[in-house]
């Protein structure tokens, strides 16, 4: 199997922080509560080494009655100091619970908001955006990446801030207790942090490669699951099993490299902690064990201060682990945030005027193509439709025929405004350019039936009602009766509340088309577009569906993209498109075209219009 060519770029960690900072401002109440919780966690953490020192001093004072204790003694009994310590632990525990709970809620808010924005961005993209993307790749960004950012949105900043404050408090306490020893421990600590930061940068680059590979794999897997009927019909289960193992080989190799860096970071962390603790004892012994040291001062240090110093130093250990977790989380979140940012910043090449533009109450009169020429944005070098003019008169039926690649379906896509003309304009209601209209208001009056019916995961009510959400159950049932679907639905155990499965998995091709036709009867559009609507059906079912489509077409402007004779012979006008982007070559009725010399007659006589 060929290795994927993955384009790598440096990950900008600032994208993650820029993305989440606005959510901190938006949820300012939560942010303030988190700040208060952090304050109490740090203060209570500082109190513990101080209380430990006071307990030591208090016990010494009790044991050595009238003894010479340090001037730092608060003058409290050791029992009172214990109560203060217990209170500090309780407050710190409550603050930690609140911090984690509020942080979790805020993280979910961020995750949901980012996911909604990503979905909004995706559904508002023009159709060409999806021409070179796999569904699995998109799902990874929408689901997995937003979850990672949401999970880390609170964890990373708060862990870092909390760790910084706790480390600073620890350093200050150590320096106050013993300046020289505290300086040595701080220097060792800085070296450990510096090494971890270097490891973090390397880990981020490697994790970025892992995310790119797994995104590609998710797209591949989703594609295979979606085409499971092909796999089953060709008996290629063994091939796909081997293939899945093969496509995951690179993922394992990339992940192994990330695992190496993660293991190395953990080794440095644990080794650094051990070094920090051991070097403290050695440094204390060296500093206080020289020939010029005062034995009384040494005794006082080890009796009164050293235990407190060790507690203060211990305050570094937890934040050090937190800092390491934050760095590894940042490596993941930075990659995910950048990928989400790429999705959000992509702008549609068309402006659908969802919030502005001219709104129309209906499609009245003709639809005119004026000087329309079209090339697909994905292949701008190839002209699909040369410049032409054409008028769709209200209430009449039109059929476009031609060889594969002649541009038949392109006409439907232009009418649906999947694309805008490369040149020229489409005029609706006499003086409205389609590209200037509020697209939703236009599509409310357009019905679309295609070769592969679009069925949602849901019940019959949800599927038929889609696009007419205000319709009652009774109206849905009436539409199903018109499409001759009602008896079939009633025969199901759950009736109209039967879940149809993803993409209507449990329905036959004819049943899917009947459901879509019921959707169109309910929508009652002024313009009906049929794009190879019966081409995937057998002859008997096709005839049944065609009768329903003809009922649906009555009194509407209809545009049929088809090659079957039964679909086009009753059209008011047949438009024949030539091969290789030659555009419209003939126009007429079926009776006129079948006998006149030209492209249609050749198609008809060759049996391509059966």
Q: How far is CA 434 from CA 296, 359, 367, 408, 417, in A?
A: 93, 11, 10, 19, 8
Q: How many CA atoms lie within 13 A of 254 on its CB side?
A: 20
Computed on alpha carbons and rounded to an integer, the radius of gyration of the chain in Å comes to: 36
For 565, half-sphere exposure in the C-beta direction (CA atoms, 13 angstrom radius) is 15
**Distance in angstroms (rounded) separating the CA atoms of residues 83 and 440:** 68
Point out the least confidently predicted range of 290-304, 369-383, 424-438.
290-304
Model pLDDT, residue 6: 40
Contact partners, residue 99, CB within 8 Å, separation at least 6: 34, 37, 38, 41, 158
Q: How confident is the model at residue 459 (pLDDT cuts 50, 70, 90)?
A: confident
pLDDT at 114 > cutoff 60:
yes
Q: Which of 214-223, 247-256, 288-297, 386-395 has the highest mean pLDDT?
A: 386-395
What's the confidence (pLDDT) of residue 8?
44
pLDDT at 391: 93
End-to-end CA distance of the chain: 43
* pLDDT, greater one: 273 or 593: 593
Whole-Å CA distances, 110 to 12, 114, 153, 329, 340: 20, 6, 7, 16, 13
Which CATH number is 350-445+525-610's, of 3.40.50.720, 3.40.50.300, 3.30.460.10, 3.40.50.2300?
Answer: 3.40.50.300
**pLDDT band, very low/low/confident/very high, at 498 (cuts 50, 70, 90):** confident
Q: How many Å apart are CA 85 and CA 77, to the nearest integer?
A: 13
Q: Over 50: is that where the pLDDT of 384 sits?
A: yes
Same fold, 14-345 and 350-445+525-610: no
454-523 is classed CATH 2.40.50.140:
no
Position 535 confidence tier, pLDDT thresholds 50, 70, 90: low
Are the beta carbons of 413 and 426 closer than 8 angstroms?
no
What is the reported pLDDT for 1? 32
Alpha carbon distance 588, 575 (integer Å)? 7
Q: Judge contact between 153 and 20, C-beta under 8 A.
A: yes
Contacts 24+ apart (CB under 8 A), 341-347: 341/15, 341/19, 343/118, 343/121, 343/122, 343/141, 343/142, 344/117, 344/118, 344/121, 346/121, 346/125, 346/129
Tell me the pLDDT tens digit for each residue of 28-74.
Answer: 888 899 888 888 887 887 777 777 767 776 776 665 555 555 545 56
| Coil, helix or strand at residue 178 | coil
0.85 surpassed by pTM: no
Taking alpha carbons only, the member of 561, 590, 555, 556 closest to residue 573 is: 590
Q: How confident is the model at residue 277 (pLDDT cuts 50, 70, 90)?
A: confident
More confident residue, 431 or 289: 431
Q: What's the confidence (pLDDT) of residue 423? A: 93
Sign of CA dihedral 13, 14, 17, 20: negative
- pLDDT for 4: 36
For residue 385, what are the β-bridge partners? 374
pLDDT at 499 over 90: no
The set of residues, in sequence order, having a beta carbon less than 8 Å from that of 345 and lying 6+ positions away, is none
- 157 neighbors 19 (Cβ within 8 angstroms): no
Note the pLDDT of residue 374: 93
Spell out the residues 6+ positions from residue 531 whose beta carbon is closer than 8 angstroms to its own. 409, 412, 448, 449, 450, 451, 561
| Closest listed residue to residue 423, CA positions, set 414, 431, 432 | 414
Cα gap 523→519, rounded to integer Å = 6
User: What pLDDT score was predicted for residue 567?
Assistant: 72
CB 454 within 8 A of CB 416: no
Q: Is residue 455 scored above 70 in pLDDT?
A: yes
CATH 1.10.490.10 at 14-345, yes or no: no
Q: Taking the domains of the chain in order of start, what are their residue ranges?
A: 14-345, 350-445+525-610, 454-523
The alpha helices in 393-450, defined as continuous H runs, are 408-415, 439-443
Task: Tell me which of 97 and 510 has the higher pLDDT.
Answer: 97
pLDDT band (50, 70, 90) for residue 185 = confident
Q: Over 50: is that where the pLDDT of 5 sits?
A: no
From CA 525, how far away is CA 325, in angstroms rounded? 57
pLDDT at 474: 93
The CA distances from residue 462 to 17, 280, 447, 456, 552, in Å, are: 40, 69, 17, 8, 21
Residue 568, Cα to own-chain centre: how many angstroms?
A: 43
> By the 8 A CB rule, do 359 and 383 touch?
no
**Any idea which residue has 């509560």 for tokens?**
33
What pLDDT shows up at residue 451?
78
pLDDT at 227: 64
pLDDT at 424 over 70: yes
* pLDDT (average), residues 308-337: 78
Confidence of residue 477 (pLDDT cuts 50, 70, 90): very high
């Amino acid at each position: 199997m060929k290795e994927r060519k993955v384009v790598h770029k440096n990950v900008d960690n600032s994208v993650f922080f820029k993305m989440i900072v606005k959510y901190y401002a938006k949820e300012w109440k939560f942010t303030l509560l988190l700040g208060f919780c952090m304050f109490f966690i740090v203060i209570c953490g500082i109190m513990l080494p101080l209380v430990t020192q006071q307990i030591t001093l208090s016990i010494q004072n009790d044991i050595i009655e009238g003894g010479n204790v340090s001037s730092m003694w608060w003058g409290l009994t050791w029992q009172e100091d214990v109560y203060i310590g217990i209170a500090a632990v309780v407050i710190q525990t409550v603050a930690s619970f609140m911090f984690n709970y509020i942080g979790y809620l805020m993280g979910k808010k961020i995750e949901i908001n980012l996911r909604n924005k990503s979905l909004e961005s995706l559904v508002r993209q023009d159709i060409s955006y999806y021409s070179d993307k796999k569904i699995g790749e998109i799902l990874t960004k929408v689901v997995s990446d937003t979850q990672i950012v949401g999970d880390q949105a609170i964890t990373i900043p708060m862990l870092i801030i909390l760790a910084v404050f706790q480390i600073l408090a620890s350093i200050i306490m150590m320096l106050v207790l013993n300046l020289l020893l505290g300086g040595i421990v701080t220097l060792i600590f800085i070296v450990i942090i510096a090494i971890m930061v270097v490891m973090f940068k390397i880990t981020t680059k490697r994790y970025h490669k892992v995310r790119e590979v797994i995104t590609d794999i998710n797209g591949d897997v989703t594609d295979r699951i979606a085409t499971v009927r092909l796999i089953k019909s060709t008996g290629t289960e063994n091939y796909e099993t081997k293939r899945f193992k093969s496509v995951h080989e690179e993922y394992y190799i990339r992940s192994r490299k990330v695992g190496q860096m993660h293991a190395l970071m953990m080794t440095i962390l644990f080794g650094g902690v051990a070094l920090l603790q051991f070097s403290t004892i050695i440094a204390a012994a060296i500093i206080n064990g020289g020939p010029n040291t005062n034995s009384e001062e040494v005794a006082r240090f080890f009796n009164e201060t050293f235990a407190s110093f060790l507690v203060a130093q211990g305050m570094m250990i937890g934040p050090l682990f937190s800092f390491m977790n934050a760095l590894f989380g940042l490596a993941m979140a930075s990659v995910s945030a950048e990928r989400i940012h790429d999705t959000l910043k992509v702008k549609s090449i068309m402006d659908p005027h969802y919030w502005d533009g001219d709104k129309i109450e209906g499609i009245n009169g003709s639809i005119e193509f004026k000087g329309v020429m079209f090339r697909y944005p994905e292949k701008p070098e190839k002209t699909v439709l040369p410049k032409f003019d054409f008028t769709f008169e209200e209430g009449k039926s039109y059929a476009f025929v031609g060889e594969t690649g002649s541009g038949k379906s392109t006409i439907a896509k232009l009418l649906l405004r999947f694309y805008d003309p490369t040149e020229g304009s489409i005029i609706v209601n006499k003086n409205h350019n389609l590209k200037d209209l509020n697209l939703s208001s236009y599509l409310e009056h357009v019905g679309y039936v295609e070769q592969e019916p679009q069925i949602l995961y849901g019940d019959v009510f949800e599927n038929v009602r889609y696009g007419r959400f205000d319709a009652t159950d009774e109206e849905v049932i009436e539409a199903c009766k018109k499409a001759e679907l009602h008896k079939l639905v009633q025969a199901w155990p759950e009736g109209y509340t039967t879940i149809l499965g993803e993409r209507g998995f449990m329905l036959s091709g004819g049943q899917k088309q009947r459901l879509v036709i019921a959707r169109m009867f309910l929508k009652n559009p002024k313009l009906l577009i049929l794009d190879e609507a019966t081409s995937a059906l057998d002859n008997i079912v096709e005839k049944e569906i065609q009768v329903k489509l003809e009922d649906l077409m009555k009194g509407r402007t209809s545009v049929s993209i088809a090659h079957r004779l039964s679909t086009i012979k009753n059209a008011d006008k047949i438009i024949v498109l030539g091969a290789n982007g030659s555009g419209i070559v003939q126009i007429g009725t079926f009776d006129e075209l079948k006998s006149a010399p030209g492209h249609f007659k050749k198609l008809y006589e060759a049996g391509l219009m059966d």
